[in-house]
Structure 1
Amino acid sequence: MLDIHTAPTPNGIKIPIAAEELGIPYRVIRLHLAQGDQRRPEYLAINPNGRIPAVVDHDVPDGPVPVFESGAILLHLAETRGGLIGPGIAGRAATMGWLFLQVGGLGPNFGNAGHFLSGAPEANPHAIMRFQGEARRHLQVLDTRLASQEWLDGHGYSVADIAHFCWVRSASYAGLTLDGMPRLAEWTARIAARPAVRRGLAAIG
């Protein structure tokens, strides 16, 4: 059993989707961020950083094992369950490269663009231009990649696709669209139509 402590945010929806794709039994423990659930001592014992998501994996040797940070959780699930990751050393490296591009690039830029847009945008025009520009550049990198590959790592549908999808589907949060990026729009629609993705999204509400 996998306990998933999460909320319906782009990072938070990654883990139920991955669990559904891998066929892992799980239960969602919904955190109400506005009420400060992520700062409660019992949650900080799992994730000292006080952010979502985090999991407790009961089905691994030496378990239960807590794992926090969405990219680390995705990689943990892929490696312990043997799926959603490229084959061999080269395949694994490709998956990790695209996964961490989202974790270190697309996600933070989307998040910061959305943050400044939702506050007082007229007071932060340079910040908005900077983060939107980088977010748009990352989307274009994905669209270019998908011109030659069906899936981001070049081997198959993986945690890298899941991680990016959960943010790309919310491009409007950063004030962006997928206009002019037909391959990325098609890839997003293809992932959204997967039964496991639909179940994962429904599980978190």
Structure 2
Amino acid sequence: MAHPDFGPISPGEFIPLAEETGLIVPIGQWVIAQACQLLTQWQQSADLAELTLSVNVSARQFYQPDFVESVLQQVATIGPVANHLVLELTESLILEDIEEAVKRMLALKAHGVRFSMDDFGTGYSSLSYLATLPFDEVKIDQSFISKANQGDSSREWIIIEAIIGLADKLRMQVIAEGVESEQQQQALLRRNCRAFQGFYFSKPLAQEAFASLVRTQRV
């Protein structure tokens, strides 16, 4: 988020305040609406039309009584590219009420929306969650990536390999978070991880700058 006086403000600063005040719910609704509008705009560009867009969802927002209905209202505006919208949920969110969470996920997946398990490997992580919950992709927490840089045979690499292997068998996309060097990327590539997120590729960008970066990479 960019403040007119203070410049860029990291999510780590404003999200806790939004959670505390309850503003995270209207902010979250606005973000999903903006995401759907952006996906519609991207359909007008050959360079951007195939991109997906991920949105983090808080527990307070996800468990609102009208969450599914409000998302479906926005998804109706993008129709055939609803599967380009990915909602990111943390495992702690799912654990609050697994039965209800799965019910809501399936209701949205029926209309094309996809789901990603964010920060996998923290908290109460269990590989069994990947087999029982209706996720389309899993994001390996950046703490594993940063520690795994210590050596190819580290404990973290063993865990990373297990996540990648199981996700592959379940036909889930795997994304490595916090990739900050070519060494990390190459080590992940050797383990059949093909999608990455981190400062090695780019710092956070405004919409126009991001579109320019994508076009540049595809030249």
| TM-score w.r.t. length of structure 2 | 0.33
Structure with greater helix percent: 1
Greater relative contact order (Cα < 8 A, sep 6+): 1
TM-score (norm: length of structure 1):
0.34
Q: Which protein is richer in strand relative to its size?
A: 2
